[in-house]
Chain A
Amino acid sequence: MSQISIKGVKKSYLKTPVIHGVDVEIEAGEFVVILGPSGCGKSTLLRMIAGLEDITAGEIAIGGKVVNQLEPRERGCAMVFQNYALYPHMTVRQNIGYSLKVAKVPRVERDARVMKVAQSVSLETFLDRRPGELSGGQRQRVAMARAMVREPKVFLFDEPFSNLDAKLRVAMRAEVRRLHRDLGVTSVFVTHDQTEAMTLADKLIIMNAGNVEQIGKPTEVYNNPASRFVADFIGSPAMNLFEGEFDADGHFVHGQGGKMNVSQLNGVRQPGKKVVLGVRPESVRRTHAETHGAIAAVVDYVEELGASRLIHADANGSRIVALDTDTAEIKSGTRVHLSLEADALHLFSVENGRRIAH
């Protein structure tokens, strides 16, 4: 039995639908990340699990019990908020211990539990400070300790690190991973940062405009994006996507008559059918003119990344980006030849954006 079961959940504000029907099963102990662009409904979905938002239609069950009508306090979830949401007038100790105080846990036990949790996030020396006297990273740790102290069935995180600087974010990410490993509590984590999502998730839920686009392991989502949206959204630099069609010889025609030899896609080459062809920059190699199926392109500009670089080039009117590890210098305007790695091509329908199996 899964820990959280979301069935046909919809949400409308007044008459505006913002979530159009989500079905997700989350297993006990799993770390699930909901990823999607701003405004796609991630927070709304999370808040419906938490009980902070009414569920317009569908059903959410936690631990086998339908919680649609339950108050947040009856659902056994703890939440970490984006802006920490610490009580400004309470000390760190009181902040962490507030849920226990409300639950009438005796003082001695409360203090012991607060201490234990504070130690696990290295806050024991800050217990008597107020949130205003802490740095952003410390506040975030207080927020996490506050969630942990209740020993909830489920942790919910709503973009908890988006106010932290890049370095701290990486450190907090590692901390969350460690805590999850130690405590094994089912966690749902909302973010729009894909690196965060990829590194944290056991299971990734990609959302777009109120719909779930794909659910899967991070590698699965990366290697087999289920839709054009996911292909475009996941991966940095973004996947090259070409709109075009197959000609009678089985070549893929794109841009202003550019042709690609894509014999890999043997099974699905219907002449005249409009499709979107996708290939990740790291699967685009520089090669020689003689190579079979090489695409001629003119270098637009080069982005140095240190160990590698991104070549932005124009191939018959289509923009193509290649990740290049060669050290030889290339100037813009140079003519290069690129080849697409076999097995690295993705095909999507133009009409609905879904993946076309091949």
Chain B
Amino acid sequence: MIERSPVFDFLTYLAMAIGAFLVVIPFWITLVAGSQSLQEVSQVPISLMPSSHLWENLSAAWARADLGPKMLNSLIVAVGVTVGKITLASLSAFAIVFFNFRGRMISFWLIFITLMLPLEVRIVPTYAIAANALLPFQVILDTLGISWLVNAVSGIQVTLNWNLLNSYTGLILPLVATATGTFLYRQFFMTIPDELVEASKMDGARPIEFFFDVLLPLSRTNMLALATIMFVSSWNQYLWPLLITTDRANFGTVVMQLKALIPAQNGTPDWNVTMAGALIIMLPPLLVVAFMQRWFVRGLISRDK
């Protein structure tokens, strides 16, 4: 529907301008505050004009929150989660859409239902698993009496243990399963004409060749869109890294470090440094979005055939 009238145009632009203003203003305040000196930032009312201390504030924040290694950690985790999510989502959608196996609908619904179980809801069991990833097997062995049997026969106590706390694996793996991604891929795969599948069968392609040679190239834009969303959301993860890393110095992520940047109760109220730190921390996702937005929009809206 396209409506064209001056009044309507004006209203549209007004709505967009208000929206843009609301979105941009917090960024602006962060930038302004991050560029001011301690005196300037403590003034009431706060000045909305940027000042000249941006660079020194950035350096101060970088040093105070140890952002160098933390940036690297965040990057490893965000990239790991993104790659993992895309791999897992595309493969599971591939199985669900193109293979006619028993329990295919059940598998799909099981995945789909996890949409209702975000990490926050299942955080305690997830933590238990992360503390010992082999726990479920231990439980199975115990319940079946196998551990008892082994103990009785050989005197060996069966204790399976694989601790994921304070490791990249622990930071990444529990976040990798994604119902949203699987669902998006499924929707895309279902638009692939049957004839294309059949043509590749006739050409002698095995399923895995069809996946790599046909499906993946065709879903490139979708994949980039998904990657963008996933990267931003895993960069922004706060709760899970906080829980699973006790060794902050080595495995902390930048988002956790935001806390370290906030002025102490009775310390100097140097919010300018805090804001400068926030600027650094939000820069990578901003860059990714800016860089990917062309693909992002295309992948979510239209289909380039």
Contacts and interface: CB of A to CB of B under 8 A. Distances in A.
B102 interface: no
Q: Is the interface of B mostly helix, strand, loop or mixed?
A: helix
Nearest to B220: A89
Contacts of B218: 88-89
Given A98-B213, A102-B209, A87 B201 contact: no
A50 B214 CA distance: 21
B198 interface: yes
B205 interface: yes
A78 interface: yes
Interface in A55-102: 71-73, 77-79, 81-83, 85-89, 98-99, 101-102
A52 B198 contact: yes
Contact of A73 (B201, B214, B217, B305): B201
Contacts of B203: 73, 98-99, 102, 146, 150
A147 B203 CA distance: 8
Contacts of B305: 88, 132
A88 B199 CA distance: 12
B195 interface: yes
Given A83-B193, A85-B193, A88-B305, A102 B201 contact: no
B204 interface: yes
A52 B209 CA distance: 17
A132 B196 CA distance: 15
Contacts of A88: 218, 305
A166 interface: no
Contacts of A101: 213
Contact of A85 (B198, B205, B206, B213): B198
Given A87-B214, A98-B213, A132-B305, A72 B202 contact: yes
Given A88-B218, A88-B305, A89-B217, A99 B204 contact: yes
A52 B213 contact: no
Nearest to A103: B204
A103 B204 CA distance: 7
B199 A81 contact: yes
Interface in B203-223: 203-206, 209, 213-214, 217-218
Contacts of A150: 203-204
Interface residues of A, number: 26
Given A87-B214, A102-B209, A132-B305, A73 B195 contact: no
A283 B213 CA distance: 58
A86 B198 CA distance: 11
B201 A72 contact: yes
B205 A78 contact: no
A344 B97 CA distance: 56
Interface string A119-140: 0000000000000100000000
A96 B205 CA distance: 13
A88 B191 CA distance: 13
A85 B195 contact: yes
B199 A79 contact: yes
Nearest to A89: B217
A42 B172 CA distance: 53
B205 A98 contact: yes
A77 B202 CA distance: 7
Nearest to A143: B199
Interface in B67-109: none
A83 B195 contact: yes
Contacts of A89: 214, 217-218
User: Most A CB atoms within 10 A — which of B199, B206, B213, B214?
Assistant: B199
Nearest to A130: B305
Contacts of A71: 201
A72 B214 CA distance: 18
Contacts of B200: 87, 98
A99 B204 CA distance: 6
Interface in A35-56: 50-52
Nearest to B203: A99
Interface of B: 193, 195-196, 198-206, 209, 213-214, 217-218, 305
23 contacts: A52-B198, A52-B201, A72-B202, A73-B201, A73-B202, A73-B203, A73-B205, A73-B206, A77-B202, A79-B199, A79-B202, A83-B195, A85-B198, A85-B199, A87-B199, A89-B214, A89-B218, A99-B205, A101-B213, A102-B209, A103-B204, A147-B202, A150-B203
Given A86-B199, A102-B213, A132-B305, 17 more contacts: A50-B198, A52-B201, A52-B202, A73-B203, A73-B204, A77-B202, A87-B214, A88-B305, A89-B217, A89-B218, A98-B203, A98-B205, A102-B203, A102-B205, A102-B206, A103-B204, A150-B204
Interface of A: 50-52, 71-73, 77-79, 81-83, 85-89, 98-99, 101-103, 132, 146-147, 150
Cβ-closest 3 pairs across A and B: A85-B195, A73-B204, A99-B203
